[in-house]
Structure 1
Amino acid sequence: MEHESCVPQGTEITQTGFHYTLSLIGGKYKMAVLYLLAEHGVLRHNAIHRRIAGIPYKTLAAVLKELAVDGLVVRTEYPQVPPKVEYALTERGRSLIPILYSMCDWGERHRSDADSLRQ
């Protein structure tokens, strides 16, 4: 499969769209949060926390804040007691989902390779 290089010769990788995309979705949990919101639409903090094993509450709060600052997730707070906050993908966030689905497909095709490669 031939494609145009996203890192033209002589270009520093940090000055490319590839690096920018990774800066938005890189990290241990960002892609998982984006994927969950794509699959479920709207979720509250605790619902996301239950679906990502081992993520500390504080870490999830930081990830959600970063995704909101980057315009990938919208945080909606309802004025009630107790406070209710929901998270959903923005249009910008939804535009990343085909990339995540491609990664999922690749992983399904190649995950069985892992055992034979480690031996």
Structure 2
Amino acid sequence: MNEPDALGKTTRINLLFDFYEMLLTDKQRTFLKYYFHDDYSLGEIAAEFEISRQAVYEHVKRAEQALEGYEQKLGLLRRHEALQEQLARLEALGMQLPAGSTERAELQSVLEEIRRTDSLIDVKS
């Protein structure tokens, strides 16, 4: 896997982890945190838990599959990304309104409230 693909995969797994962390087992959470958040190698994780590198690999792969399965069924990341796109479009439209106008200020206020609400929607809550 080349570097850009690895970065994209890591970013996606971290985002999925943010949404579905609490649906994973303790072991899945632990291995994913070590591997994707803390950037440990499979060998380093294996040494830490005194298991084989292959066992770590299998745990990480199963956890990734679980996250992708949750996303396929629930679509929380997909919905979040769609919402962020729509908010960006609204913000761009708002920039076309005259600076200092009541409408622009009101739109900015609504956008901030939506973003604040979206950040509160978290399966960890």
TM-score, normalised to structure 2's length?
0.29
User: Which one has the bigger helix percentage?
Assistant: 2
Q: Which protein, 1 or 2, shows the higher relative CO under an 8 Å CA cutoff with sep ≥ 6?
A: 2
Structure whose residues are more often strand by fraction? 1
Structure (1 or 2) with the larger CA radius of gyration: 2
